[in-house]
Amino acid sequence: MKNTIRVERAILNITQQELADRIGVSRQTINAIESVKYVPSTVLALKMARVFGKEVERFFELDAED
């Protein structure tokens, strides 16, 4: 799975910590998601979508092998 969370944060000019605070997780969780070491739950993905003002599919994408 690919994601553009880092880009979306840059567009909003917010840090990993600020995003984490807005969705109720740790900064380390945001880092793991951005590094594709952790796939977020549906609830976390929807919370990020709310922060970014976009549909989940706009910043998460399945790889061919997924």
Radius of gyration of the chain (CA): 11
Model confidence band, residue 66 (pLDDT cutoffs 50, 70, 90): confident
Residues 6+ apart with CB under 8 A from 3: 33, 34, 36, 59, 60, 61
pLDDT in tens, 14-62: 999 999 999 999 999 999 999 999 999 999 999 999 999 999 999 999 8
* Whether pLDDT at 65 is above 90: no
Q: Give the residue carrying structure tokens 């590094």.
A: 35
Model confidence band, residue 64 (pLDDT cutoffs 50, 70, 90): confident
CB 60 within 8 A of CB 1: yes
pLDDT computed for residue 28 by the predictor: 98
Helix ranges restricted to H, 1-66: 5-12, 16-23, 27-34, 42-52
